[in-house]
Amino acid sequence: MAPTPLTTYRLKNQGRRIAQIVKLKPECVEKYKECHARVWPEVLKQIKDSNIEDYSIFHDPTSGTLFASFKYVGYNWAGDMERMRENPKVQEWWKMTDSFQESYVEGAKSSQDGEPAWWKGVEEVFYAP
């Protein structure tokens, strides 16, 4: 029997959970909900192609805060986010949705600009799988 060649494979990244916040302008709540009820297919595809899974956005009407939670399962966060920023449909989407928001990050100008980030990262203090 001939020896079998060694197969190289990469284990699936189990993922890193990420949470972020941004402020939703009170006069834009309904518009924001409407556009997210019909997210453009190109944007959804880019999210998936950027190795983002299990993505949710929550809204707290008392504080006006949007809370986003997702799992990043890729191996090159900076590269995946750069590809997302380069997508013309994502740029168009961000231009629309950023107009409904105010960043908590000092100096942030837009989602497109990258750094400083438009959405503020928040620390995970508890997790029970």
Cis before 116 (ω within 30) = yes
| Domain presence at residue 127 | no
Average pLDDT, the chain: 93
Average of per-residue pLDDT across 79-100? 97
How many domains does the chain divide into? 1
Average of per-residue pLDDT across 44-58? 98
Domain that holds residue 94: 16-121
Q: What is the distance between the alpha carbons of residues 96 and 129, in angstroms, rounded to a whole number?
A: 35
| Domain presence at residue 11 | no
* Higher pLDDT pick, 75 / 6: 75
Q: How far is CA 30 from CA 24, 33, 89, 97, 111, in A?
A: 10, 5, 22, 12, 21
The CATH number of residue 60's host domain is 3.30.70.100
Amino acid at 98: D
DSSP three-state, residue 56 = strand
Active site residues: 36
pLDDT at residue 129, rounded to an integer: 85
| Domain presence at residue 6 | no
**Is residue 82 scored above 90 in pLDDT?**
yes
Query: What does residue 17 show for φ and ψ, rounded to 5 degrees?
Result: -80, 135
E-assigned strands of the chain? Answer: 16-24, 52-60, 65-72, 101-102, 120-121
pLDDT at residue 114, rounded to an integer: 79
